[in-house]
Amino acid sequence: MRIEQDVKLDFKDVLIRPKRSTLTSRAEVDISRDFVFLHSRRKYRGIPIIAANMDTTGTFEMARALAAHQLSVALHKHHGEAELLAFFAEQPPTPTAFYSMGINQLDFDKFARVKALAGGSIEYVCVDVANGYTKAFIHFIHKLRAAYPDITIMAGNVVTGEMTEELILDGVDIVKVGIGPGSVCTTRSMSGVGYPQLSAIIECADAAHGLRGLICADGGCTSPGDLAKAFGAGADFVMLGGMLAGHDECDSEIIEQNGVRRMRFYGMSSREAMEKYAGGVAEYRAAEGKDVLLDYRGPVENTLQKILGGVRSACTYVGARGLKELSKRTTFIRVTQQLNEVFGQS
């Protein structure tokens, strides 16, 4: 047994220090990014925020609504082949929609069939496992990269620099970072495993950027300020589940309770999800996700405006003309847990 003594931080443990700036308005800030992916060599331009590949948020409706603002969606894994083909054949196409998959042979074969018919309209793939530290995961990445040299692969999840480097060397363009921070994730309490998300982002971004790779910070953002901190810490993309849940574009019914309208949102490893897609929770495992009822929030458009406004505001406070400059201009100040509890972070 070993104990690491370095302090590891979460979003709530820091604030961004204001810096002198010549910017006069948020309107002067450009929060889109341009990337050329390391392996696929494809070009990207957009606002690097991605809806999570959860079955509530990773929907076609969400993809269309977010694309109107240059944001992306990782479609969930449970769409049928016919509906995926219809979506990828739409004109005009929805750019930067990620096709998501797990790592078994059935996942590979389904992708091969859909990709053969959809052709170049599928450019982005998200390979998603709860634990990105297994040999089987690395083996799958090798196989996928060998078969599809020019697709952009996002894959994870991991939380450490050395595994980020390994994945980038294995053919991943964007490493997905986060174990345990998700709003409906119970991994930390069920297994005791996890890593404070801000530190994971800082360490994985440093490792990725050294090899010209990119990272996507996945999970744990509960406010626009958390996205600003994630980008400030070095995230190239940020993935959101809970912040985009509860909207019209989600695949979830509105439930009326005592005159209040709510929407169900659950983790993809929760009992609810396993019952829906895997016929129940296997005997050898426990659910690592929970089921919550969120207030219904109408069209996602309103929430998007708040998120994008918050990130723009962070850029103006530190004098960053573009999102690209935000991490260079970010100094985090540590705030104590007690202060957070007493004053919140308004």
Q: Which residues are catalytic?
A: 185
| Interacting residues with ligand 5GP between 115 and 174 (CB under 6 A) | 130, 157
Under rule CB under 6 A, residue 225 binds ligand 5GP: no
Quick one: tokens of 76? 């969930």
| Interacting residues with ligand 5GP between 295 and 324 (CB under 6 A) | none
Under rule CB under 6 A, residue 239 binds ligand 5GP: yes
Which one of residues 56, 72, 183, 303 is an interface residue with ligand 5GP (CB under 6 A)? Answer: 183
- Considering only the stretches 105-113, 219-227, 296-304, 308-316, report the one whose residues sit in contact with ligand 5GP under the rule CB under 6 A: 219-227
What is the full DSSP assignment across 200-268? Answer: HHHHHHHHHHHTT-EEEEES---SHHHHHHHHHTT-SEEEESGGG-SSTTSS--EEEETTEEEEEEE-T
Contact 140, 169 (CB under 8 A): no
Contact 102, 77 (CB under 8 A): yes
- Considering only the stretches 77-85, 114-122, 248-256, 268-276, report the one whose residues sit in contact with ligand 5GP under the rule CB under 6 A: 268-276
Under rule CB under 6 A, residue 268 binds ligand 5GP: yes
Under rule CB under 6 A, residue 198 binds ligand 5GP: no
Collapsed DSSP state (helix, strand, coil) of residue 42: coil
Which one of residues 167, 233, 240, 315 is an interface residue with ligand 5GP (CB under 6 A)? Answer: 240
Closest CA to 176 of 101, 285, 78, 249: 101
Under rule CB under 6 A, residue 54 binds ligand 5GP: yes
| Helical (H) or strand (E) element with 121 | none
Which one of residues 46, 171, 182, 246 is an interface residue with ligand 5GP (CB under 6 A)? Answer: 182
In angstroms, rounded to a whole number, what is the distance separating the alpha carbons of residues 268 and 266?
Answer: 6
- Considering only the stretches 36-44, 139-147, 267-275, 276-284, report the one whose residues sit in contact with ligand 5GP under the rule CB under 6 A: 267-275
Which one of residues 184, 201, 250, 311 is an interface residue with ligand 5GP (CB under 6 A)? Answer: 184
What is the total count of residues that contact ligand 5GP (CB under 6 A)?
25
Q: Is 102 exposed, middle or buried (0-12, 13-18, 19+ CB in 10 A)?
A: middle
Q: Nearest distance from residue 152's CB to ligand 5GP, in Å? A: 18
Within 8 A by CB and 6+ apart from 70, the residues are 32, 45, 46, 47
Residues that bind ligand 5GP (CB under 6 A): 52, 54, 130, 157, 178, 182-185, 187, 218-221, 239-243, 267-270, 288-289
